[in-house]
Amino acid sequence: MVNNNIAILLSTYNSEEYLSEQINSIISQTVKEWILYIRDDGSSDNTFAIISNYCRLFDNIIHIKDNMNNLGAKKSFIKLLSEVESPYYMFCDHDDVWLPEKIEKTLHKMKEAESKNPLKPVLVFTDLIVVDRNLNIISNSMWEYQKTNPLHSKDVYTLSISNPITGCTIMINRAAKDVSVPMSSKSLMHDLWIALNVSHYGYIDFVNEPTMLYRQHNRNVLGAKKVSFLYYFFRLQSINKLFSDNFELYQMLRSLSFKVNLYKLIYYKLKIVLIKLFT
């Protein structure tokens, strides 16, 4: 498989409506030293034809084909990460739009972080502009919209409870891949799993500005949720869902190669929720 300075990993699934706009935004980046690797996760629409067309036009767009069909976003991204060899990796959703300097600004921060943390796993992430399906702005900052603090990425406990890292903004180095793969079957999502491992074994930093348009529509796998008092009120109304979500988080944390203190986790949970409620 082709090696390159930056591997951009894109998993698609019934992506025909937005895919060309996303790929075009990658082609328009100020940094050109990248290869885009696309794995389709069993689409039934025109996605395959769109991918094939771009692959014919551009040597640095590669379609990764297998017979594994629909793995889901988490496993599909980890499948790509496992198969591709590169010094740096970025994750890309099929329905967003990257601002022209996204790669440039993220790579600059990565190099800066690596110079201070030689040979260590490093992860860099950024803020996002939240937009609707037609790219009209909902919020100029995902972090403000969800009341998340990028500094919470520095600690396993705050990261577990108030994760400010959105997968489609991430760049990791090869050392970060090495401590994150294979991924546990208990993992909630690939981005959180990688971030938890890097926060323990290496270093996480961030670009303190948005680098992309984060599109919200009725088929988002996760998406942006505005956090307010009512958000927590309705969460408490669905006590079964609240319990299951926390249990799944705990199961994932137990599957990490290092120990997480449950009592410390509960303490941070209460602290962060109270701060979000009253600020």
- Domain containing residue 211: CATH number: 3.90.550.10
Report yes or no on 29 lying in a domain: yes
pLDDT digit string, tens, across residues 199-217: 999 999 999 999 999 999 7
Q: Is 251 helix (H, G, I), strand (E, B) or coil?
A: helix
- Give the C-alpha separation, 163 to 222, whole Å: 13
pLDDT in tens, 24-43: 999 999 999 999 999 999 99
* Residue 227 or 169, more confident: 169
Number of Cβ within 10 Å of residue 31's Cβ equals 16
pLDDT value at position 220?
55
Query: Is 275 a member of any domain?
Result: no
- Asked, for residue 251, whether it belongs to a domain, the answer is no
Q: Is residue 250 in a domain?
A: no
What DSSP state is assigned to residue 234? H
Digit-coded pLDDT (tens) for 107-121? 999 999 999 999 999
What's the pLDDT score for residue 246? 78
pLDDT of residue 266: 85
Q: 180, 175, 155, 151: which is closest to 164 by C-alpha? A: 151
Q: How far is Cα 39 from Cα 51, in angstroms, rounded to an integer?
A: 9
Number of domains in the chain: 1
Structural domain includes residue 63: yes
Confidence at residue 58, expressed as pLDDT on a 0 to 100 scale: 97
Which among 5, 181, 184 has a CA at the least distance from the CA of 82? 181
Q: 242 pLDDT exceeds 70?
A: no
Structure tokens at 37: 């690797």
* pLDDT one-digit tens code per residue, 76-130: 999 999 999 999 999 999 999 999 999 999 999 999 999 999 999 999 999 999 9
| Residue 276 belongs to some domain of the structure | no
- Range of 23's domain? 6-224
Q: Quick check: 3 pLDDT over 50?
A: no
CA 97 – CA 2 distance, rounded (Å): 25
* Confidence band of 140 (pLDDT split at 50, 70, 90): very high
The pLDDT, as a whole number, for residue 227 is 54
Residue 279, in any domain of the structure: no
Percent of the chain whose pLDDT exceeds 90: 76
Write down the pLDDT at residue 2. Answer: 45
pLDDT digits (tens, 9 = 90+) for 35-78: 999 999 999 999 999 999 999 999 999 999 998 889 999 999 99
Mean pLDDT across the chain = 90
Helix (H) or strand (E) holding 229: helix 229-237
> Does any domain span residue 233?
no
Q: Give the pLDDT band of residue 238 (cuts 50, 70, 90).
A: very low
